[in-house]
Amino acid sequence: MKKILFLLVACFITVTSCDMIKDATSGLSNDDIVQGLKTALEVGADSSVFKTHKTNGFYNDVLIKIAFPQEAAIVLQYKDIVPGLNDMVTNFVLSMNRAAEDAAGEATPIFKNAITSLSIADGLDILNGTNPASITKAGTAFDSTAATQYLISTTYSDLKSAFAPKIGASLDKKLVGSYSTKQLWSDLATTYNTAALFGGWQTINTDLGEYVTEQALKGMFTKVGQEEIKIRRDPWKWVSTAVGDILTKVFGGE
């Protein structure tokens, strides 16, 4: 049994052959396999939400930190020239990330719904490194973030709908000092645009809510992908947790 389970883990990590998947999982029921996958996905999704839905979850993570909008990057060229602009930029970037951290908790029920709805066939596709919701899955190479790609395919629209109002409300909150993100953006844009009119520079106008929402979702899925890769590489790490029994049964143990 241990040999079979070792082969299953090897398949989950690197194998693209359906025949080897069948051989490795022959000692387990499809229900066991998919339940293990669902549990692993829940662990990864919960961990990602936990890491982002807290102070500095976005801001101190260089991989997902929300940067100053590229559409308004012209501002950065003059932040040391226009009085007070540098501090405004710093506080604004911090505030955007605070808004994303505030909204990240909205992902949990949407992720859980998608994971719960995962069929046996879809679960086996994910085990085989393929996103079952992709229209181009045939003939694609093994993807170690197949589960994450599946969640992107099946939850992005719902997450965006859930995040947008939460982000909007968060942008109105005074998350940095006595100013909301929208106030900081308004002050920053007004200060810069006023100077731009006199200096003959390009003025700025970007949809802040849309930008922060999209960047927050991008960061969230980046963290989900990281967690998926960790679980594929070392599923035994989770055996000491409350979900350890099913993960041990599917991914390791005696």
Model confidence at 21, in pLDDT bands (50, 70, 90)?
very low
pLDDT tens profile 128-155: 788 888 766 555 677 888 889 999 999 9
Query: Does residue 26 have a pLDDT over 80?
Result: no
pLDDT tens profile 220-254: 999 999 988 887 777 666 544 545 555 555 544 43
Question: Mean pLDDT of all residues in the chain?
Answer: 79
Query: What is residue 30's predicted lDDT score, i.e. its pLDDT?
Result: 75
pLDDT tens profile 168-186: 998 898 877 788 888 888 8
User: What are 235's two structure tokens?
Assistant: 């599923």
Model confidence at 158, in pLDDT bands (50, 70, 90)?
very high
Q: What is the mean pLDDT of residues 32-56?
A: 86
Domain range annotation of the chain: 2-251
Percent of the chain with pLDDT over 70: 79
Query: What is residue 136's predicted lDDT score, i.e. its pLDDT?
Result: 66
Query: Does residue 77 have a pLDDT over 60?
Result: yes
Query: Does residue 204 have a pLDDT over 50?
Result: yes
